[in-house]
Structure 1
Amino acid sequence: MGSLVWLLQWPIRAVVLLIVAWLPLGVEVESFGIALLAAVVIGLLGTLLIWPLKALMALPWAITSLGGIITPVSWLYNWAITVILFGLAAWLIQGFRLKQGLLSAVLGAVVYAVLSAVILRMLGLDVDFTRVSAVMSAVVAA
């Protein structure tokens, strides 16, 4: 079921990325094909890099959030990871640009994440667990 949901999410996330590019946030996407590629790359980067990024940020997170007690600080670290993944995808894909650098990455990533979550939830395609746990459960089941 997880793979089917992901396949259904993929073009929706690409459309969301085109919406983000249409907004005055400094995000540029040349075409729907580039948006499809970017949606895949963002998802793959999230799957591959979420744990290394969390490990890298673990000590500052633990100190600033008092071990997770201060929830808004934890949210900030999750948003920072989202911005890193969004910016990295833009750096890797020709035709997906952030005109104002970090500002475009922050604005674009936040709007992309929020719109994706809202639209996918409205369509009943949201997934309550992380991409990594889906991959891990598929590996364990195999």
Structure 2
Amino acid sequence: MVGLLITWLVTTVSFLILSKLPLGVEIDSFGKAAFSAAVFGILNALVRPVLTILSFPFILVTFGLFMVIVNAIIFGLAAWLVTGFRLRWGIWSAILGSIALEIVNSILFHILSKLNL
């Protein structure tokens, strides 16, 4: 349970960081970022496996690079579902945002692992 809360908080902070970068991702407040992180996590748990199975031939042919598109779809769905979370440039913001989210999450989790949390 603690791991889930830490992941949610890290993703919330990542969303706030993304909103400050020139990627076309706009989030109104910390509350909206927290809600967006929760929706993103739920979509990752429920929708991502279905999309991965349906797009498996494309993932196989592109040696996994199509997963960027799957992640962008999840990112875009989260933006569509949450009021106050917008993608200024549509799919391009979703692609850039999903890539940047993975990078920022990786950096933050690396920092947390160094702190032994």
Divergent runs of 4+, >4 A: none
Please give the TM-score of this superposition, normalised by the length of structure 2: 0.90
Say how many residue pairs are matched.
114
Structure 1 residue 121 and structure 2 residue 100: aligned?
no
Show the counterpart of 2:11.
Answer: 13
Structure 1 residue 79 and structure 2 residue 79: aligned?
no
Structure 2, unmatched stretches of 5+, are none
- 1:37-52 → structure 2 map (5 Å cutoff): 37-52=35-50
Show the counterpart of 2:55.
Answer: 57
Structure 1 residue 93 and structure 2 residue 82: aligned?
yes
Write the distance in 2 (CA, Å) between the matches of 1:51 and 1:8: 22
Structure 1, unmatched stretches of 5+, are 66-72, 126-142
Q: Which has the larger radius of gyration?
A: 1
Write the distance in 1 (CA, Å) between the matches of 2:10 and 2:59: 32
State the identity %.
36
Structure 1 residue 34 and structure 2 residue 32: aligned?
yes
Greater displacement, 85-94 / 112-121? 112-121
